[in-house]
A and B are shown apart, each in its own frame.
Chain A
Amino acid sequence: MYGKKGSELVKELASSEPGQLSAFNNDLFAQVIDECTGHLHHLGSLIRKIEELKKIEEIKKLNNQELEESEKQLLKAHNSGALIHHLSLLRNKRCLMAYVYNRAETIRSLGWAVERVLPEEIEEKLSGSEKEYFKNHAASLQSYMSELDLDLAVDMVPPKDPYIKVRVLEDIGNVLLSDQSANLARHAILFLRRTDAEQYISQAIFTLMLW
């Protein structure tokens, strides 16, 4: 059916939680593009037929004749057929664009939440160009922030305590933090400055412990 696959693609977006990404549906995406190629093919052949009929019409006009009724009907039918294919193409285009655009929006917002490196479980959901997009977006955010010399991605609400308690999930080894050098061994429980800990939490190396 015309434009149905495209709408399935958009429906998938609509049913996912806002702000969350589902895996890029390569399969359906390619199918919609195939459908577009099919429409284009039909459209082309219909346009050729229309042009042929128009030529006949012109020749007949020179001889002071008109198209026969059946030919007129045929011309109209070709016209409306071409129109349907054209509209389907536009429709598919809109569905594809909406799919990509809305995903890109989510990816952009991720750029603020996590810095530079995407967690693996999110990264595997992105398509190749989306990964590239995220990388470039994060890089330009970073360069803007370093130009301003201000971290814009921090929490808008000031923390009540500059120190937080975290548990380490992965072995990293000795790391020099802003006020101390800490040994980040697995399962260690540390009391760190919030600003130091934040980047590790966003990479899922630390987990925040409640008091």
Chain B
Amino acid sequence: MANYYDIDDVLAEQEFLPVLFQQGAEGVGLFDSGDDANEVEAGAKVELPFCLARDLHVRGVVAIDVPPYFRKVSRTRKEIEADAAHVDLRSRCQYFYELGLKIAPLAGDKSIGPFLLVAFQTRYKEVLVKAHTAASAVASKHLTLLTNEEVKLCEAGQSSTAAFKK
């Protein structure tokens, strides 16, 4: 398990997931601020942050649905299959891999793991190539496509290039 105090881990668990309530829940009115009802009924579809959704899922209160970008048939998947390196993952989820890793064991869809691996492998190569060679102007445009983890990789690559040149 990641460090309890790790900022990235805390933020990754804040990403919202669509969930389906299997049982009603009493005394939690704040989910839909639209109406005044102080409960959530069984069958309600709500967006919950992952940290809540995980434990509720384990205890059978809700069923997790994966976010759109992890679905089996989705634009993101098609784009990754076509040209993974140039897909804008940052706008979809800044913690794409971290969240994916956490969701994979919970969701019924077994293809998430391999999908993440493929995406990471192809993008990793591109990130390293860019980090070692590209001038900062080109790199900054490329950075806007990367998730947080990839940005860190990219910076690590750049600093190692700088250290090597010294």
Q: Which residues of A are at the interface with B, using a C-beta cutoff of 8 A?
A: 1-4, 7, 10-11, 13-14, 42, 45-46, 49, 73-74, 76-78, 80-85, 87-88, 91, 94-95, 97-98, 101-102
Tally of contact residues, B, Cβ under 8 A: 26
Q: Is B145 an interface residue (CB 8 A)?
A: no
Q: Is B25 an interface residue (CB 8 A)?
A: yes
* Cα-based distance from A50 to B13 in the complex (angstroms): 29
* Cα-based distance from A119 to B8 in the complex (angstroms): 30
Chain B residue nearest in CB terms to A10: B10
* Cα-based distance from A84 to B26 in the complex (angstroms): 10
Q: Smallest Cβ distance from A51 to chain B, in angstroms?
A: 14
1-44 of chain B: CB within 8 A of chain A: 4-8, 10-11, 13-14, 23-28, 30-31, 39
Q: Name B24's contact: one of A49, A76, A94 (CB within 8 Å).
A: A76
- The A interface is mostly helix, strand or loop, or mixed, namely helix
Q: Is B99 an interface residue (CB 8 A)?
A: no
Q: Smallest Cβ distance from A38 to chain B, in angstroms?
A: 9
Contact B49 A3, beta carbon cutoff 8 Å: yes
* Cα-based distance from A10 to B7 in the complex (angstroms): 7
Contact B5 A3, beta carbon cutoff 8 Å: no
Contact A85 B7, beta carbon cutoff 8 Å: no
* Cα-based distance from A150 to B6 in the complex (angstroms): 34
Contact A85 B52, beta carbon cutoff 8 Å: no
